[in-house]
Structure 1
Amino acid sequence: MKEIQEQIMRLKKEKNAVIMAHYYVDDAVQEIADYVGDSYYLSDMATKVEAETIVLCGVSFMGESAKILNPGKRVLLPDVTADCPMAHMASVEKVRRVREDYGDDVAVVCYVNSTAALKSVSDVCVTSSNALKVVKALPNPVIYFIPDKHLGSYIAKKLPEKKFIFNDGGCPVHTMIRPEDIHEALKAHPAAKVLVHPECPEAVTELADYAGSTSGIIDYATASEADEFIIATELGVMYELKQKNPDKSFYPASALQICEDMKKITLDKVLSVLNRDDVGLDMTEELMEKAHAPLKRMLELSR
């Protein structure tokens, strides 16, 4: 593995590339990345890096977001088949129907875990770390939240003054986590704090000592005086949790907390994509322009 890491470092310098990785990818990939973070962090950093090439170690919508925010840069995906099922769980047609029904009263709020096509018909994008702040800042009394109904309902409970319309979508990994899983984990570790991602169903987030984004979960665990934690999100986050908290213990709520698409990203594939002279992610200028506005508005409202 060390030889592969050294080759990646060499090629990265030769090709003026930067490697960005999501917390959910394989530990070995996080280890060699220049930047590791959640969706918001990666979107924000993509606007700041000077390298000509971005190697985005994550699923396809993350690569799209990086390209939309940096149309002049080359964005490489180590595995182009690594996708997010939830990113496709809303429709442009439904967005248009909602706009017809509610007019200027509605804001279409698009979770960043979505296709560029969905972003292009939205008013603003959000991530789990900034959704509350962004939606609260919107003047519209009606919010159509796509594509994740669980994150949408989590935010809606905190903003009762707004009317929410939910979309029937959700992350397959997070929706498989059940309240029973939390109760069983607590039986084994009764002193543990329960940290939950709001993509989980409401019955799970209600059991949390803390509910928030992946980066929020890491920050909470790091700042907490507790020594044990039950983690209800994708297990890739364990790498950073343990790096920052070597003396603390972390337990998964369920053995099913694994995103197979994120795990497609391996060191071998990072090396392979750097070795090739691919043009990188290719999107039409029109699509990028339309999808750029809601992403840009997200970054502005979050800062």
Structure 2
Amino acid sequence: MQQAELIERIKELKKKRNAVILAHYYSRPEVQDVADFVGDSLGLSQEAVRQGADVIVFCGVHFMGESAAILCPDKTVLLPEIDAGCAMADMADVPGLRKLKEMHPDALVVCYVNSSAAIKAESYICCTSANAVEVVNSLDADEVIFVPDKNLAAYVATHTDKKIIPWEGHCPTHHQVLREDVLRMKEVHPEAEFIAHPECRPEVLKLAEKVASTRGMIVYAKESKAREFIVGTECGLIHALLKEAPEKKFYCISEYACCPSMKMVNLENLLVSLENMQSVVTVPDDVRERAKEALDRMLAVKINR
């Protein structure tokens, strides 16, 4: 089936199923183009709650589908590629987190949404890269356990007076971006500003003109007077940047800044998912209820963007 036929069939089934397609900025360009909404973790979490559709097709990785299922228990949530996982999310485990909580009984747990439903259920509140600083600063606690990304934890620590106790996890795609990569790209593109995601290493963030979430990068690039940007995040964001600021130039920080899991959803398995109503993401009720409390607390925090 040709791409045009795939897209037409997806549109037909979407209408038939009363479905909405949500896609992360890191998904394939053609998947972003067929989606009803494209966004970062925070934006898509909010959109999932707002939608009146019966079916949510989440073009992303497993923890994103779980978040939608937690927030929208009355809707059917489909993940076109059920094996699309997140290496960083897999670095956190419940027994380890419970042990850390016992070691720091006065600390509240802030859980990055890039984590499993089980980890969210063990946490007080969730956060995204867009609101992590605001979430931490909103808490009535002097100590915070931050799980699972040590790089985002280090970034938050520079914007709060609270003691941050980090979990030793990281995003492999962002963590492999090195200071040397930035210096090399700045040499090749001396007029370009470097914008970076806070999942990058601290020494990489120090070289950035702007540190922001995925959506924050788009907003900054559109508003900045600069005409060229070196983009320090997953390569999929380039597609959205070019759509929203076509008059500007964007250079991915590295040819290796690509998350294989985020590219697993394609038009073919998206169509199959809608045709067969597979693969459904479910979360056990006891886990869902506790995880929803953490997500609801996050969604209630006001951010200044």
List alignment gaps of at least 5 residues for structure 1.
none
- 1:148/1:168 contact within 8 Å kept: yes
Structure-1 residue corresponding to 2:108: 107
Structure-1 residue corresponding to 2:42: 40
CA spacing shift, 1:46–1:217, aligned 2, 3 Å: same
Structure-2 residue corresponding to 1:77: 79
TM-score (norm 1): 0.97
CA distance in 1, matches of 2:173, 2:97: 25
Structure-1 residue corresponding to 2:117: 116
CA distance in 2, matches of 1:279, 1:20: 15
RMSD of aligned residue pairs (Cα, Å): 1.0
Name the SS for the 1:234 alignment partner. coil
- 1:95/1:108 contact within 8 Å kept: no
Name the SS for the 1:47 alignment partner. helix
Shift of 1:279: 7.1
Q: Deviations over 1:2-33 (max 9, x none)?
A: 11111110100001000000000000000010
Do structure 1's residue 164 and structure 2's residue 180 form an aligned pair?
no
Structure-2 residue corresponding to 1:30: 32
Structure-2 residue corresponding to 1:64: 66
CA distance in 1, matches of 2:57, 2:118: 22
CA distance in 1, matches of 2:277, 2:255: 39
- 1:27/1:236 contact within 8 Å kept: yes
- The 5-angstrom pairing of residues 240-251 of structure 1 reads 240-251=240-251
Shift of 1:191: 0.8
CA distance in 2, matches of 1:271, 1:206: 43
CA distance in 2, matches of 1:302, 1:131: 11
Moved over 6 A (4+): none
Structure-1 residue corresponding to 2:57: 55
- 1:124/1:297 contact within 8 Å kept: yes
Structure-2 residue corresponding to 1:127: 128
CA spacing shift, 1:277–1:214, aligned 2, 3 Å: closer
- 2:78/2:277 contact within 8 Å kept: no
TM-score (norm 2): 0.97
Do structure 1's residue 283 and structure 2's residue 283 form an aligned pair?
yes
CA distance in 2, matches of 1:281, 1:250: 35
Q: Deviations over 1:161-183 (max 9, x none)?
A: 21111111000000010010000
Name the SS for the 1:19 alignment partner. strand
CA distance in 2, matches of 1:35, 1:118: 27
- 2:21/2:37 contact within 8 Å kept: yes
Q: Deviations over 1:129-177 (max 9, x none)?
A: 0001111000110010000000001000111x21111111000000010
CA distance in 2, matches of 1:181, 1:220: 22
- The 5-angstrom pairing of residues 209-224 of structure 1 reads 209-224=209-224
Aligned length: 301
- The 5-angstrom pairing of residues 283-302 of structure 1 reads 283-302=283-302
CA distance in 2, matches of 1:277, 1:48: 21
- 2:45/2:67 contact within 8 Å kept: yes
- The 5-angstrom pairing of residues 183-194 of structure 1 reads 183-194=183-194
CA distance in 2, matches of 1:302, 1:106: 22
CA distance in 2, matches of 1:148, 1:198: 10
Structure-2 residue corresponding to 1:137: 138
Letter in 2 for 1:35: F
Structure-1 residue corresponding to 2:263: 263
CA distance in 1, matches of 2:267, 2:50: 24
The percent identity for this pair of structures is 44
Structure-2 residue corresponding to 1:149: 150
Q: Deviations over 1:165-223 (max 9, x none)?
A: 11110000000100100000011110100000000000100000000100000110011
Structure-2 residue corresponding to 1:86: 88
